[in-house]
Structures are given as structure tokens and as C-alpha cells.
Amino acid sequence: MKIIDKIGQLFGTKVSSKTMKNAYNEAFFEYIGETGTGYDTNAKSYIDHGYNVNSIVYSIVNQQARKSAKVPFYIKKVDDEQKAKQFLVEIKKENIGQPQVKLNAKALEKKAFSKVETMDMPIEKPNIFQSWSEFISLYKTFLKLTGNVYIYMMAPENGVNAGAPMAFYLLPSHLIDIVLKPGANLLIDDSPIDYYRLIEGAVYQDFPAESVVHIKYSNPNFDINGSHLYGQSPLKSALKNIESANEALTQNIKTLKNSGAFGFIHGKQQPLNPDQAQELKDRLREMDNSPERLSNIAGVSAEVGFTRLTLTTDELQPFAYLSYDEKQLCNVLGWSDKLLNNDAGAKYSNIQESRKQVVTDDIMPDLGLLEQAFNDVILPKYTKYANTMLYFDVSTLPEMQLDMASLTSWLTRALKDGVINRNEYREALNYPILNEDEMYVYTVSGKLNPLERALEEEEKPPMPGVPGLPAPKGKPNAEKKNLRTNKAGFDPNQIKSIDAESFCDETLIDKSKQPGIVERMIKALDLDGEPGDITINAGFKEDQTRGPGGRWSKTGGWNKINTKTVLDYQNKEGGSTYGMDGINKAGAEGMGSVSVYTSPPESLVLEGKLTEQDLSDFLEANKALLKNSSKFGLGSWYSTKSNVTFLDVVTIIKLEDAIKLGVANNQQAIFDLENMVEISTGGTSIDEKKSQDMNKEKWGAYGKYLEATKPAERKITSRAELAQMAKNAQSKKK
């Protein structure tokens, strides 16, 4: 009973087979049935006379097979079928090595597939004789040689695993015949193929059509014998080139064996008689067989001549024909002759481009056919692999990668512009992603703010009022504006964590002059030698500018202190603390100042009031220290009672860390810049008597702090000594 009649019985009605006729099948299969098709009787020739004996064919196909086996494949659960299809299109693009295409493919991959790890093949090995790499290599070999691949799926007919293949075998495609069903012309959904027959000599084996997956190249040859059911071999059009190449080598071998061209030896003036001719022939054979040198010398009783019957190798030019045949075979097989040790145009750049081209033009399409067969036919046979997809990813092959310099340059620019985040940067370099929130944030260069915050910069409110301190420029409650900023520094409040020893190194504390400083700091701060307990200000001034090349401009270098501004403020208030960014730190929220230096040039006592020259010389004398970090600043205080000025390199850090540092350095006190008060840290360096004599002006507390943290007896440094210190610093720089 035909399928059409069964459909009619199922629905209780008679369906006319006339309306279900397959005109296409009827045209080509009406007169055949249970017979084999007769297409391509040269299928064996492609292997016997091509792959097995022709070095050009072997080299090309072998390279193709080995490269195909190296392409990694993955099986994943599909969450979004539409995105999965888009992903397959994306990874098959010719420019998949470009970072923007690769990143887009990664984004589609995340949306298309489940986050569950990649699944293994349903069975560990396709069969007991092969690994999956060998299977793919042989698949490619058969496809390029014959245009056909037949995968036999061996599966149990009964039981819980009925229909699920237990093994896969690649049938020898050059020995397969397709046998057709009787009456294959009737139904639009009925395949005309009954079974596949393997024939070798007088032995044959039949394989049911439903147990074989047939992968083939397109074939335009249609006839009533079903020729179009086979794929066309790429070598069909190049059989003459295979024959030409084989004959060229054969002819060359003959010429070499003959030690030259063929011809006749004859009498020059008169013919040789039979005895003379035979004697000459015997003598030549004897000479050819003897390895002795004297045997190559012979005499004849008559004058002889030689008439050549064949062309020499130079005249035939067989290697020119071989080169032509090689190019033609490369063309039909989709390969590049530059990859066959061809010296013509074999520059490194040309070879690299050729490797990319063959991957996109040959390797990817053929693996795509195998990919489709697995996704449409093979994987659905396994219950566990429902709604899964197998795909090959050529983007990881070395030839598909950009050189590292070009790749990192593009990625760095994209990262700075907020186009990608840090984990996407790592993915593009095939590094594992880091599951930290910061790695998924999109940032822009400069202050490394989140993108949305960088687009809307809010002007900061004015600094808490400090007597005598000019009000900040700009409106206190300025509206938010979308603008591009040329600010180049980090957020001035940006912090980083370091350990005690690193802190000493960064602040250039001379550990040799203060034995045990690191140990005391660890003990005081309960650091246990571990990083992370001291946080220091790591930012530059936020409006510090850069030049066109990205370097700090002349107006935005390490020292932005205006000596006249400092001097005016010092004379008015009696003391000052300025950062190297030029900002008056009086009233700085949450900040403290601590001095750990006790001797010149970092710590000085000058007679009388400061001058601009004093400030300039002090900054120059300490330039090597001050330019190393934005944490450093300039601290000064004038004692009206003693008529001396204290001038120090100070460390400006978060108040709680300033306290810790003061304790660790056995300092009596540190200075709270926000509240302008001294905070005792319990050290022993204070002179109680002198501290009671400090004036009570606004900066008196600061003066008390400065004087209290110095030795009781301080040598006054002369202006000449200070000038010499500055001069010495300049000499060292030179």
C-alpha cells in the first residue's frame, strides 16, 4: 500500500494521488526502479590515478584534510534559535579574524546558547578504528576526491536506545552505487533512494537509505539514470590535468633512464651489416652494465652516426606543463599553489593571505556541510541532544588572527572610547573572563568613570569656607551639561591600597635612617605584612591638561604651585599647606597632613619670614621627591615668637591614614586639614614647654603641630645653604 493511501485511511477519506504527483521525480525516475544509477565511472580514477600516484593531488587534498581536522567544534544547548542562526552566519564571515566581527559573534553566542558548558560528542569515538579528528580528515578527503561522502549510522533497532547511533563509518564513496525505489515518481515527500550499495569486485553490501547520511557537492548533470543524485567530483573537470602531470613525470623518468633522448645509431657512409649492428648493440649493453670507467671507452670498425627520434627535456619542457597542471588542480580543488612550496610570489605576506583565503573559501564551506548533517539528522537521534547545535569555529585558527600589535591597538582604542568593557577585551584576546563587576563596566579615558557619568559632568560645590581662601570659580549649583571634557587626570579622591613597605618606598622614607620603620608601621597598623590596610590618594588634579600627544602639558606638570600665591597666603594666615597641584589644602574634606622628615632638605627651619626665592629653592631642592607622587605637598608655618619659618615636605592623605602613619612613625601629632586642628598620635618627639608657647592664631594649631613634631633643638638653615641645595639638585639632574 502506498503512503498516499495510508494517509487517506487515516482521515477516513480517499485522497487522489493525482494531486500529490511529483512531476520532478516523474520526469527523471519514471522508467527506472530497483536499479543503480550509472554516473561517473571514473570515481576510482580520482583515487587510483590521482590521490595515490599524483603528488600534486595528494599534497593539496592532504593539506585540506589536515587543516579541516584542526578546526575546533562545539555542541551547545540552544536558547534562542534566531540568534543561533545569526551566530552561525557571523562566524562564517571571511573577516571573522577582525576584532569587531569576533566581538559581535561572541555577543550573539551568549544570547543564542545556554550558559551550560559545551557538550561532548554523543559518543567518544565515531568507531573503534578512528578518532573524530581522523573521521573529519577522511570526510574531507572523500569529499574533495569524489564529491560525495556517505556516513553509515550503526544503531540498534530495539531497546531504549533504538535509533540512536552507536558508531559512524565513512563508506568508501568511490565504491558506492545509489539504488532507486520502484515507483519513486509518485509522492512529493518520498525520496527516490531505496538503499546504498557498496560494490568491490564480486562482493557487495546494501545499506538502507535511512541509515546513511549522504553529503555531496552540487551536480548540474541531470538524466533519467539519476546522475544528479550524486555529487560531482571537483577532479572530474581536471582528469586531463592529472593525466598530463602523470605523463610528464613518466616521460622525464624515461629520459633519465635512457641518459638522454631516444634515437638510432647507424653507419655514416654505408649501412652496418647485421653482424656489425649486433656487435655494436652488445658492446653498448655491456658498457651500460659495467661500473668500470674504462668500459665506457669502445671502438668500432666503421664510421657511425646518430639520428635522434625524440625531443630533449629542454625542448619538451615537462616542468612547465607540470607547473600549469599544478595551478589548474589547485583551482578546481579550491587551494592556493603558494602553499605548495611554489617560489613564484611566495612572500610571507602572500602566504599568510593565501592561508586565510583557503580557510574561508574551502575549509569553512565543506565543514558547513558536515555541520548541517549533524544538526539536521544525527544529533536529533539522541534524546539528550534535543535542541542542540554543533558548529565549527575557524576564528581560533592562527591564520585567522590579526597580528597582536594591530589587535591590541584596536582593542585599546575601543576600550578607552567606551565601546567595549574589560572582559570583552580579554575575550578578544582569548583570555578567560573575570567574574568581577568592575570588569563589565564600560569606561572612557580620563577619570575612568562609567560612560553615563562621563557624559554628564556636574560642577563640584565650592570648598567649605576657609577665612582668606578665595571662593572657587563657577556657579555653586551649575546645571548638568552634556559636554566633552579635556580633563586628563584621575579623580583627585581616587585611592589605592598598599602595604607598609611599599608606602615607605613610595613616600621615599629613608629606611636606613629610621631603622625598624616598616616593622613599627606593621605593628601600629596591625598589617601583618599584608597589603590593603593603607589607602593613599592616587589621583592627579582633575583639570590637569595634556598636550596633543597625550603627555602632560607645560601648564600641567608635576609642580603647579604659584610661589607668590603661597607667600601671600602664608603672610596673611601665618601658615599654609599646598599640594603639588597648586591647590590650597586648608579645609580639604577628610584629609590630613603628616610630616615624616626631620632633616634638610625635606625639613628646614629658616630665619625670618619666607620669600619667593626660598620657596623656589626649596621646591627645586626636593624636586626628585616631590615629582614622584601627587600625595606630596608643601607645608609651612611662621613662628612670631621665634621669628623662624618651618618649611616641610608633607604627605597629604586621608585623615585616618595620616593618623596611622603618625603612630607608625612615632609622631606626636598629625594635622586635620578639614577642621584645622592638631590630633595627638602619642609620640615622644614633642617639646611640651615649647608647645605651650605657640601662638593662638588660626594657624597656631598647625604651627604647634609642625614645631611639636621636630626635634627640640633645630639647626637653622641659611639662605645660602638652601640655594646650594637647589643648585646641587639641578646638577644631579644634568
Q: pLDDT tens digits, residue range 582-630?
A: 888 888 888 888 887 778 888 888 888 889 899 889 988 888 778 766 7
**The length of the chain, given as a count of residues:** 734
Whose cell is 525516475? That residue is 29
Q: What is the pLDDT of residue 232?
A: 92
- C-alpha span between 511 and 622 (Å, rounded): 18
Q: What is the pLDDT of residue 298?
A: 63
Distances (CA, A) of 594 to 294, 608, 657: 105, 24, 10
Q: pLDDT tens digits, residue range 259-301?
A: 666 666 777 777 877 877 777 777 777 776 766 655 556 666 6
End-to-end Cα separation, the chain, in angstroms: 104
Dihedral sign for Cα 76, 80, 84, 85, please. positive
Identify which of 517, 477, 471 has the alpha carbon closest to the alpha carbon of residue 666: 517
Identify which of 235, 417, 210 has the alpha carbon closest to the alpha carbon of residue 332: 235
Q: What is the pLDDT of residue 14?
A: 43
- Residue 434's contacts (CB-CB under 8 Å, 6 or more residues apart) are 422, 423, 426
Query: Do the Cβ atoms of 182 and 33 come closer than 8 Å?
Result: yes
Q: List residues bridging with 168 in a β-sheet.
A: 153
What DSSP state is assigned to residue 360?
I
What DSSP state is assigned to residue 557?
S
Give the gyration radius of the chain's Cα atoms: 45
In terms of Cβ atoms closer than 10 Å to its own Cβ (0-12, 13-18, 19+), residue 127 is: middle
Identify which of 371, 367, 363 has the alpha carbon closest to the alpha carbon of residue 389: 371
Q: List residues bridging with 578 in a β-sheet.
A: 584, 634
C-alpha cell at 703: 604651627
Q: What is the pLDDT of residue 702?
A: 54
Dihedral sign for Cα 232, 235, 241, 247, please. negative
CA 208 to chain centre: 46
Q: What is the pLDDT of residue 500?
A: 61
Identify which of 469, 447, 677 has the alpha carbon closest to the alpha carbon of residue 585: 469
Low-confidence ranges of the chain (pLDDT < 50): 1-33, 35-40, 186-188, 459-493, 495, 526-533, 535-556, 684-699
Domain extent listing, the chain: 1-78+114-242+331-401, 243-318, 555-733
Q: What is the pLDDT of residue 22?
A: 44
In terms of Cβ atoms closer than 10 Å to its own Cβ (0-12, 13-18, 19+), residue 705 is: buried
C-alpha cell at 146: 569524489
Q: What is the pLDDT of residue 480?
A: 38
- C-alpha span between 410 and 414 (Å, rounded): 6
Q: What is the pLDDT of residue 344?
A: 66
Whose cell is 557571523? That residue is 90
- What is the longest distance spanned by two Cα atoms in the chain? 145
Q: Is 654 helix (H, G, I), strand (E, B) or coil?
A: strand
Dihedral sign for Cα 605, 606, 607, 608, please. negative
Query: Do the Cβ atoms of 489 and 582 come closer than 8 Å?
Result: no
